[in-house]
Amino acid sequence: MRIAAATLFVVLTLQAHAAEGDKTLVLPRALKAGEIAVIEVQVGSIARGQEIHVTTASGRELGVISPFGVRSGHEAGTYPIPIPADAVVGQQLTVHLSVTGNGAEPHAPTPLQIRSVKVVIGSSSAGQTDNREKK
Amino acid sequence: MNEPNLARRRWLMGCGATLLAAQMPFARSAPTTAKYRRYNVASVEGQKALKSYAAGVQAMMNLPATDPRNWFRNAFVHLMDCPHGNWWFYVWHRGYLGFVERTIRDLSGDKSFALPYWDWTQSPQIPDAMFDGVLTPTGSAFEKYTGNLAVFTSFAKQPLSDYWATLSAAQKAQLAARGYNQFDNLWNDVTGLDPKSGDGVSGNVAFATTCGSRYLSRDNPKLDPKTAYDVSPFVITSGLVLPTDFYNPQIYLSFTSSKTPSHNTAPSTTTKFSLLEALPHNKVHNAIGGVGAIDPGPYGNMVNFLSPVDPIFFLHHSNIDRLWDVWTRRQQHLGLPILPSGDDLKTFSNEAFLFFVDNGRYVTDGKAGDYTSTAVFDYDYEPGFGEALIDAPGGLMAKAAAASIQGLAKGNTGSLRADTSQIEQHLASPESRPLTVSLTVTRPQESSTAREFDVLLNAPPGVTQVSADSPYYAGTVAFFGPPMRGMAMLMDSTFVVPLPKRREAFATVQGAAKQEVNIRIVPSQGKDAHALTLKGLSLSTP
């Protein structure tokens, strides 16, 4: 009971503090042992030197998307980022994306800079995957 | 999926035996004993290889720019032909590295030379020797070539233009697919000129002046924390164990990036990057070149397509190639495919690679399928991070992601040394997975009445008993039932205890890179103070 209450509190806290650049994603089901969530970030057109910094809502590092080899003006493509299992609360995951670099303060991406973010479930045991996706 | 289909078999039967061995999706990728071994640069052998590498780089720099083996001409092979964001990324770079390795073997005089690799997961900082002599593009030896753009232009442009004039129609068609319809288009990427606006775009300048050619320095060699995360055990493990196929439209299942019409197709809105290309490959390139630190550029060499001017390029890509080899051998162990199958294999293998240079000879008839195996260059790798994943049983993510630090135990006390950064990370977020300590204890026999024991963290020597709200209280471990004297019970038990996230408990240890962590285990209610023996302990990080 106490654990359930604590979990609910965490979820409510995350929602209450949802900030610009935060995206809450819902996994198709709860993770099983040996599985991890992977988010796929479709990056649009960003300037050379700009990166997409991905953290949890609380600021825990999840990865940095740093395009390489993209022609100027072209969209940057889709990048997978693995999510530690303990960053997922229940079936929910809130990630914070910010655009960094080029001398500007980190800021929330525009819809043209981040086209979409979705979450999938991957398994470390080959062949066991859940391909269902949620936008 | 696990069985080769008929179409693939028919196609394979039309190929020679050598190709068969190299290209079968289930074939071994390397002979068991290779002629050459690529060592971890941190090893004694790796350091020896670096010396030959430096001699080879120097020799390549000394060659005139009309010689295709020239160090800078060699970098232009990458600018003109490298694939990124598509499924030829790994195989093209294997060919590129293999031929450069041969050239250095020849020019250095070290007949056993093989490129060392930089295992950034184990050591997330540029190896110190890579700041010596010609192993850094900031070195004085580079100044007469890269002192400024005019110097570089006078040195490299005309020979390159002359080479352009000799290219075949097939080569020019590939360059056109890349956007280089004429030589000036290519040179614009060197200077950063945007022909549409007529302006220079600082971030697009592939050329880097000597003094600005590498952002990280001997005084600042470490990958920044975000880059270090992108090369961390968790990320690399994910990139090795999640993909089930060489290519899969579901990108997290794919070891390679998108399937594209040609290897010259640049990343676009439809490009999906595989995890290892997306995170460690890209981020290390950009971090070394100064993305973020020296925005908006011009950046160091590693940020753009003349990145092979920086000798660290080949150590970075050697590690990327090693991870491909690790993934391949893991797939073989699991009985899973290592290459595409059917028509996909044919499409993949027949892609023409027309710009490699084999020790001075242009390789104008190469195909991707020539380089799918390490056997073509007869090398293997000294094991590095990820090797343990090849035949690891279940629970791979947890096993590989967790690092363990062993401690020393005596009586009811144990101690170990943890990285300060690990402790800070532990304390930083109440949500993150905590540091845990594994305690192996010998259960007291019938002389003891205690069954519950408190675990104390960094408690002062005089503290022998604590309440649950004490900053030193880490939990209580308990035995169920009495000890059974007549049974052959295993008397050693191991408990895993998460450490409390209370800064006060770590207050006695501050400032140093490593911190002492002391654990003491005491009877919960103060009974039998000498009754429990701590036999071993270890600290696990998330």
Assess whether pLDDT exceeds 80 at residue B476: no
Chain B residues touching residue A123 (CB < 8 angstroms): 242
Residue B178 to residue B155: CA distance in whole angstroms: 24
- Using 50, 70 and 90 to split pLDDT, how confident is the model at B483? very low
CA distance B325 to B338: 10
Using one digit for the tens of pLDDT, what is the confidence trace for B349-393? 999 999 999 999 999 999 999 999 999 999 999 999 999 999 875
B345 against B406, higher pLDDT: B345
Quick check: B272 and A63 CB within 8 A?
Answer: no
| Strand, coil or helix: B308 | helix
Residue B436 contacts A where some CB pair is shorter than 8 Å: no
Residue B306: list chain A partners with CB under 8 A: none
Residue B87 CB-density burial (10 A; 0-12 exposed, 13-18 middle, 19+ buried):
buried
The alpha-carbon gap from B410 to the nearest alpha carbon of chain A, in Å, equals 34
Q: Judge whether residue B421 has pLDDT over 50.
A: yes
How big is chain B by its Cα radius of gyration, in Å? 28
Give the A:B interface size as CB pairs under 8 Å. Answer: 184
The answer to whether A78 contacts B251, with C-beta atoms less than 8 Å apart, is yes
Q: Position of tokens 């070394």? A: B288
The answer to whether A39 contacts chain B (CB < 8 Å) is: no
Q: How far is CA B440 from CA B144, B227, B409, B463, in A?
A: 63, 36, 10, 22
Closest A-chain CA to B394? A125
pLDDT band at B9 (very low <50, low <70, confident <90, very high): very low
- Mean pLDDT, chain B, rounded, equals 83
H-state helical runs in B65-215: 71-81, 89-108, 143-146, 149-165, 169-177, 183-191
Q: What is the mean pLDDT of residues B500-524?
A: 74
Integer Cα distance of A28 and B127 in angstroms: 44
Q: At what angle do helices B149-165 and B183-191 cross, to 10 degrees?
A: 160
Residue B19 CB neighbours (<10 A) = 17
pLDDT of residue A12 exceeding 70: no
Residue B329 has pLDDT above 60, yes or no: yes
Mean pLDDT in residue range B145-166: 98
CB half-sphere exposure, B520, CA atoms < 13 A: 18
ipTM of the complex: 0.73
Contact criterion met (CB < 8 Å) for B251 and A80: yes
Phi, psi of B54 (to 5 degrees): -60, -40
pTM above the 0.80 mark?
no
Residue B116 has pLDDT above 90, yes or no: yes
Q: A90 in contact with B at a CB cutoff of 8 Å?
A: no
Rounded-to-integer distance, Cα B491 and Cα B442, Å: 6
Within 8 A of B394 by CB-CB distance, chain A residues are 34, 124-125
A70, A101, A129: residue with CB nearest B267? A70
Tens-digit pLDDT profile for residues A83-92: 998 899 889 9
Q: With pLDDT > 90 as the criterion, what percentage of chain A qualifies?
A: 54
Local confidence band at B76 (pLDDT 50, 70, 90 cut-offs): very high
Q: Do the Cβ atoms of B341 and B255 come closer than 8 Å?
A: no
Rounded to a whole number of angstroms, the distance from the CA of A26 to the nearest CA of chain B is: 17
Contact B334 A123 (CB under 8 A): no
Preferred mutation among B178, B188, B273 to probe A, highest tally of A CBs within 10 A: B273
Q: Which of residues 207-266 of B touch A (CB under 8 A)?
A: 225-227, 229-230, 234-235, 238-239, 241-242, 244, 250-253, 257-258, 266
Mean pLDDT is lowest, of B64-78, B183-197, B343-357, B407-421, for B407-421
Chosen from B295, B299, B427 to mutate, greatest number of chain A CBs within 10 A: B295
Residue A108 at interface with chain B, using a CB cutoff of 8 Å:
no
Are residues A49 and B291, on separate chains, in Cβ contact within 8 Å?
A: yes
In three-state form (DSSP H/G/I as H, E/B as E, the rest C), the secondary structure along B26-64 is CCCCCCCCCCEEECECCCHHHHHHHHHHHHHHHHHHHCC
Whether residue A38 and residue B252 make contact (CB cut-off 8 A), yes or no, is yes
Q: Which has more confidence, A23 or B506? A: A23
Is A58–B429 a contact, with Cβ atoms under 8 angstroms apart? yes
* CB nearest A82 (choices: B225, B234, B396): B234
Residue B357 distance to chain A (closest CA, Å): 22
Which of residues B530 and B267 earns the better pLDDT score?
A: B267
Q: Which of A9-18, A46-55, B173-182, B225-234 has the lowest mean pLDDT?
A: A9-18
β-sheet bridge partners, residue A100: A51
